Amino acid sequence: MKNSVSFNSELSKFGIGLFETIKIEDGPIDLDLHMNRMFKSIESLNMNIKYHKEFLTQSILNYIDENKIKNKALRITVFDEGYNISTRPITYNEEIYKKGFKLTISPIKRGDSIIYKHKTTNYYENIYTKRYATENNFDDGLFVNYENIILECSMSNIFFIKEDKIYTPHGELPILNGIMKRKILDICKNLNIEVIEGEIKLEDIKNFDFAFISNSLMKAMKISQIDKIVYPSNNEVFKRIISYI
């Protein structure tokens, strides 16, 4: 494992690398799903990564065991010179879940690059958007494209609820296919909750009854508002879904 990067690495020069963030409770959650996604990205992007999935998976398990990691976020980063594993606290708490997230529209409009479908280390658009949101007293930013179609937040996927149906941006858009998003779609299928994956226009988000976001660390977080649009604090469909996460 590497704890430093040379200036000759593709990571230093071009921001070329991949990472996954994995929730650790008593053990790693959905480790196989995260590693499968990483290695699909390595193949799709033809990246210069020399490790096998089995080796990196075992390296993560060894790191967790040797350092007695529990209830933290683990990040594995891979790049041309090697890999790194690190951990950090998970900051979501009961008060945050009770309040929900406030979102603002990102000042960055996205194009149609395939890169957005992968969790690359070239992450500055996301960091800029998160900082912009924080500086303006919001919790996160929401990306739209040049046609004002809703995409995703800087670190999460987004869902809307209207009556008893779930609406979410479809996977053909330039967004990350989140691990937790896939799990939520499976839960909806098992609960016979209809999911409509499509294009959601920015002008239409005021017409929904409820909204929430998801990622592997937070699982699911309700949205209290998007800019000046305020959403209700409770929703029965949302309660059903989160009871199975």
pLDDT tens-place string over residues 53-105: 999 999 999 999 999 999 999 999 999 999 999 999 999 999 999 999 999 99
Q: d(Cα 208, Cα 228) in Å, to the nearest integer?
A: 14
Same domain, 75 and 135: no
Answer with the one of 47, 62, 89 that is the final residue of a domain.
Answer: 89
Same domain, 116 and 155: yes
Is there a domain that residue 2 lies in? no
Range of the domain at 20: 10-89
Q: Quick check: 7 pLDDT over 90?
A: no
> How many distinct structural domains can be found in the chain?
2
Is there a domain that residue 134 lies in? yes
Mean pLDDT of the chain: 97
Same domain, 102 and 53: no
Same domain, 26 and 132: no
102 alpha carbon, distance to own chain's centre: 16
Six-digit token pair at 116?
């957005």
pLDDT of residue 6: 86
What type of residue is 65? D
Helix axis angle for 179-190 and 31-44, nearest 10°, is: 120
Short-list 46, 47, 51, CA closest to 35 = 51
Same domain, 124 and 171: yes
pLDDT of residue 2: 67
Same domain, 21 and 109: no
Answer with the one of 89, 104, 127 that is the final residue of a domain.
Answer: 89
Same domain, 76 and 99: no
Local confidence band at 151 (pLDDT 50, 70, 90 cut-offs): very high
* pTM for this entry: 0.95
Which tens digit of pLDDT belongs to each residue from 155-203? 999 999 999 999 999 999 999 999 999 999 999 999 999 999 999 999 9
Is there a domain that residue 191 lies in? yes
Is there a domain that residue 1 lies in? no
Within 10 angstroms of residue 203's Cβ, the number of other Cβ atoms is: 8
Residue bearing tokens 């929703």: 235
Is there a domain that residue 67 lies in? yes
Local confidence band at 3 (pLDDT 50, 70, 90 cut-offs): confident
Q: Quick check: 222 pLDDT over 80?
A: yes
Q: In CATH, what number is assigned to the domain containing residue 124?
A: 3.20.10.10
Answer with the one of 67, 89, 111 that is the final residue of a domain.
Answer: 89
Whole-angstrom CA distances from 205 to 65, 119, 158, 227 are 45, 26, 11, 11
3-state helix, strand, coil in the chain (%, to 5): 35, 30, 35
